[in-house]
Chains A and B, each alone.
Chain A
Amino acid sequence: MSHYEAPVRKPLVTGDKVYKDVTEDIVRPIEGRANKTWWIVFSIALVAFLWGLGCIIYTVSTGIGTWGLNNTIEWAWDITNFVWWVGIGHAGTLISAVLLLFRQRWRMAINRSAEAMTIFAVVQAGLFPIIHMGRPWLAYWVLPIPNQFGSLWVNFNSPLLWDVFAISTYLSVSLVFWYTGLLPDFAMIRDRAKKPFQKHIYSILSFGWSGKMKDWQRFEEVSLVLAGLATPLVLSVHTIVSFDFATSVVPGWHSTIFPPYFVAGAIFSGFAMVQTLLIIMRKVSNLENYITVNHIELMNKVILVTGGIVGVAYITEFFIAWYTGSPYENYTYLSFGAATGPYWWAFWALILCNMLVPLTLWVKKYRRNIIWTFIVSIIINIGMWFERFDIIVLDLSKGRTPSSWAMFSPTFVDVGIFVGTLGFFFVLFLLYARSFPVIAQAEVKSILKLSGDKYKKMREEYGDDVQMYNLPEQRPLPDFKGMVEELEQKNEEVRDEKGELIESLLLKIGDASNDNADDLKRLSGVGPALEKKLNQIGVYKYQQISKMSDKEFTILNRLIDAFPKSKSRFWSGEANILNQI
């Protein structure tokens, strides 16, 4: 009874699936053709992306002055978007790493797409600091390179530099984690592909994965260790992002609660984005049997927990701002002054979207309602954007000197770049959904007997020790002894033929032995491998080579695989010269 799961647990794969069905269901979107809806959505995303690209080019060529920044509010949408995207990028690694360490099997249906979302979101996030540099062609100055290539050594005391290391480590490690998991799935598509072009592409992408038992053993250990490394990594990344604010002295930013609160907020928004994407994807790609309502409910529970942490953090911030009695604190983003000030709408958007609406998920009926979940996930995404907007713009708008108080209004370039990253994100995700296996099929297959409803029913009916397979129809055995004899005879014939050829070759050029052999690698096109093969035949000396003519080279061509015939015509000349030196 190697496959046992408590009967009370709901099946993770429904629809009486067997291994073959999993394969078929997951490759269907890849092998099929895109429908009209896909093309429409893709076109909209592409247009948005191109518009954003235009705005980025305008910003870089004209300057940051094209944005709505002013003397008071010197950070606004750019950093808001940066933090928003990085936050969204947290759910993927959380699902695949943290839930792997906790042995949560439901992650297997969603980890692939969540990780893809992570990578695409972090790509968007990374754009903003680079654009914000103003001179992005000098972006390499953030790397620790010697002084003559750029500025002084980078400042390792700065949280902005910690960000560089944190985000690049996070992006690259998530990418490698994701890709390693993809190898067996690409191999599956490769072995099914009928068109030569497709087969070729997936054969390159799969790195020649063959599914050997030692490879699987390493694969599982590598996944586990990567999960162990990625778990503290994902927590460190948003902690460090929060340091960008927490280590400064601006009221509202200088807050020790930021690291845990940012991490919880990141997971909160990341899961909301996963819900948004997967609720659509399960419908479009017909994956309802793999991403079930149970999965959605479980994700909603994570949203509830992290949303609760975020809510407690808001209340704490609000209370402490009041409790300090400091007048400056009355203008921070969570204070009475903010709730009633000129930015009241941003304050209440935050409270409504992040604290109040998600509370409906406490009700089981709403938690399992797919349409309501979808609406809530969009609202949370909006709310989390406002959280970062509030932290940055509200806190800056009313600083310590009332004479410099100001408001922020974005220009079309601010809006354009944000919309552009949304477009870019969806372009990447839509391409992914049509060319990648969107569910980690190898992992789902490994839990199918444990948690597929077909097998769960079997155990329920016939007991836990039921044999969960039918004996296959066996193909009759061929006569192996005869086959082997035939094979050996054929080999012998080949060997005899080769022996005769070698004999005739050596008759012409003369025998030689290994003692004082010449260095044949000096001939054009000869490497160590070819030299070894020549030696096996009995060719050791330049003198032998110099005696060769076309006929001998033809013989060598027959004896040696991949013999460089075009180069060999130089050999007798070269060997003559080498022989005289």
Chain B
Amino acid sequence: MSGYTLQALYADDDHLMKAVRETRDQDHHISEVYTPFPVHGLDKAAGLKETRMAITAFLYGLVGFGVAVWMMNFMMIEDWPRNIGGKPSFTFFQNMPAFVPIMFELTVFFAAHLMVITFYMRSKIWPFKQAENPDPRTTDDHFVMEVETDKENIQDVAEFLHSTGAKEVDLKR
């Protein structure tokens, strides 16, 4: 194993942002940042791609809408048409206005739940999952930036991180 990871601990979000920018300017590779709350603009500063969660929600919503249309058409029109208070049930489109509320509800149901499940799976969070934050303080008021380096440059990178004002610099084991 030739790669090593250094962990720089900061005690403030503005300070962290400044350090992230400086680190990127020096062409060091930031592999991860642990923060106790969403730091505005961190994803852009650290060079993350935009997330596609919203797109998945849209697609899941289409699925939910399709399921609702298929279900009500099958149950009310095809499988067992019934005359309920004279409401027309001969074709789907005649009966459709009564189906609108459930079409909407199922669209939301599918979009919301499947998106959240996708989020949990992609971020690998679920019950009994062990937390991976390197320091318990990172869920309270501290911030950790992880920078990858190799054996030759490790001392230089560590000194650079020290110069950004990191409270502590550690080697990830």
The docked-state distance in angstroms from the alpha carbon of A229 to that of B122 is 21
Minimum distance in angstroms from A229 CB to a CB of chain B:
5
Within 8 Å CB of A209, what residues of B? 125, 131, 139
- Is B32 in contact with A212, judged by CB distance below 8 angstroms? yes
The docked-state distance in angstroms from the alpha carbon of A473 to that of B137 is 16
Minimum distance in angstroms from A155 CB to a CB of chain B:
6
Given contacts A475-B167, A488-B151, 19 further A-B contacts (CB under 8 A): A153-B75, A157-B76, A157-B87, A157-B98, A165-B101, A169-B106, A173-B113, A187-B131, A211-B34, A214-B123, A215-B125, A222-B53, A233-B105, A443-B37, A446-B37, A468-B12, A474-B167, A479-B155, A480-B158
- Is B37 in contact with A144, judged by CB distance below 8 angstroms? no
Q: A156-B99, A232-B104, A484-B4 are in contact. Are A210 and B119 (CB under 8 A)?
A: no
- Is A218 in contact with B102, judged by CB distance below 8 angstroms? no
Q: 0/1 per residue, B53-88, Cβ < 8 Å to A?
A: 110010000000000000110011001101011010
Interface core residue of B76, B87, B123, B169 (most chain A CB under 10 Å): B123
Size class of the A contact interface (CB-based, 8 Å): 35 or more
Within 8 Å CB of B50, what residues of A? 217
- Is B71 in contact with A144, judged by CB distance below 8 angstroms? yes
- Is B122 in contact with A218, judged by CB distance below 8 angstroms? yes
Minimum distance in angstroms from B39 CB to a CB of chain A:
7
The docked-state distance in angstroms from the alpha carbon of A404 to that of B12 is 73
Minimum distance in angstroms from B2 CB to a CB of chain A:
9
- Is B105 in contact with A468, judged by CB distance below 8 angstroms? no
- Is B14 in contact with A191, judged by CB distance below 8 angstroms? no
Q: A217-B51, A477-B169 are in contact. Are A229 and B37 (CB under 8 A)?
A: no
Which candidate, A98-106, A200-208, A340-348, is the interface stretch facing chain B? A200-208
Within 8 Å CB of B137, what residues of A? 191
The docked-state distance in angstroms from the alpha carbon of A144 to that of B79 is 13
Within 8 Å CB of B37, what residues of A? 184, 216, 441-443, 445-446
Within 8 Å CB of B79, what residues of A? 153
Within 8 Å CB of B132, what residues of A? 208, 210, 212
Q: 0/1 per residue, A144-178, Cβ < 8 Å to B?
A: 10010000111111110110011001001100110
The residues of B with any CB-CB pair to A shorter than 8 Å are 1, 4, 6, 10-15, 17, 32-43, 46, 48, 50-51, 53-54, 57, 71-72, 75-76, 79-80, 82, 84-85, 87, 89, 95, 98-99, 101-102, 104-106, 108-109, 111-113, 115-116, 119-120, 122-133, 136-141, 151, 154-155, 158-159, 162, 165-169, 171, 173
- Is B84 in contact with A469, judged by CB distance below 8 angstroms? no
How many residue pairs link A and B with beta carbons under 8 A? The number is 252
Q: 0/1 per residue, A408-445, Cβ < 8 Å to B?
A: 00000000000000000000000000000000011101
A220 within 8 A of B: yes
A472 within 8 A of B: yes
Contact of B101 among A144, A218, A240 (CB under 8 A): A240
- Is A173 in contact with B32, judged by CB distance below 8 angstroms? no
- Is A480 in contact with B154, judged by CB distance below 8 angstroms? yes
- Is B113 in contact with A442, judged by CB distance below 8 angstroms? no
- Is A211 in contact with B101, judged by CB distance below 8 angstroms? no
Minimum distance in angstroms from A228 CB to a CB of chain B:
9
Within 8 Å CB of A177, what residues of B? 112
- Is B105 in contact with A236, judged by CB distance below 8 angstroms? yes
A173 nearest in chain B by CB position: B112
Q: A191-B140, A209-B125 are in contact. Are A472 and B167 (CB under 8 A)?
A: yes
Minimum distance in angstroms from B145 CB to a CB of chain A:
9
User: Can you list 18 residue pairs at the A/B interface with Cβ under 8 Å?
Assistant: A23-B141, A155-B84, A156-B72, A156-B76, A162-B105, A165-B102, A169-B106, A209-B125, A216-B43, A222-B53, A222-B119, A229-B112, A230-B112, A232-B104, A449-B14, A474-B168, A475-B167, A481-B155
- Is A216 in contact with B42, judged by CB distance below 8 angstroms? yes
The docked-state distance in angstroms from the alpha carbon of A380 to that of B40 is 39
- Is A469 in contact with B112, judged by CB distance below 8 angstroms? no
Within 8 Å CB of A508, what residues of B? none
Interface core residue of A154, A206, A226 (most chain B CB under 10 Å): A226
Nearest first, the 5 A-B pairs at minimum CB distance are A208-B129, A191-B136, A469-B12, A19-B141, A442-B37
The docked-state distance in angstroms from the alpha carbon of A446 to that of B12 is 11
The docked-state distance in angstroms from the alpha carbon of A449 to that of B41 is 15
- Is A157 in contact with B131, judged by CB distance below 8 angstroms? no
- Is A208 in contact with B139, judged by CB distance below 8 angstroms? no
Minimum distance in angstroms from B32 CB to a CB of chain A:
6
Q: A208-B126, A442-B37 are in contact. Are A176 and B133 (CB under 8 A)?
A: no
- Is A157 in contact with B80, judged by CB distance below 8 angstroms? no
Q: A156-B75, A191-B139, A477-B162 are in contact. Are A468 and B14 (CB under 8 A)?
A: yes
Minimum distance in angstroms from A218 CB to a CB of chain B:
5
B157 nearest in chain A by CB position: A480
A558 within 8 A of B: no
- Is A474 in contact with B162, judged by CB distance below 8 angstroms? yes
Within 8 Å CB of B40, what residues of A? 2, 446
Contact of A221 among B10, B14, B35, B54 (CB under 8 A): B54
The docked-state distance in angstroms from the alpha carbon of A491 to that of B108 is 53
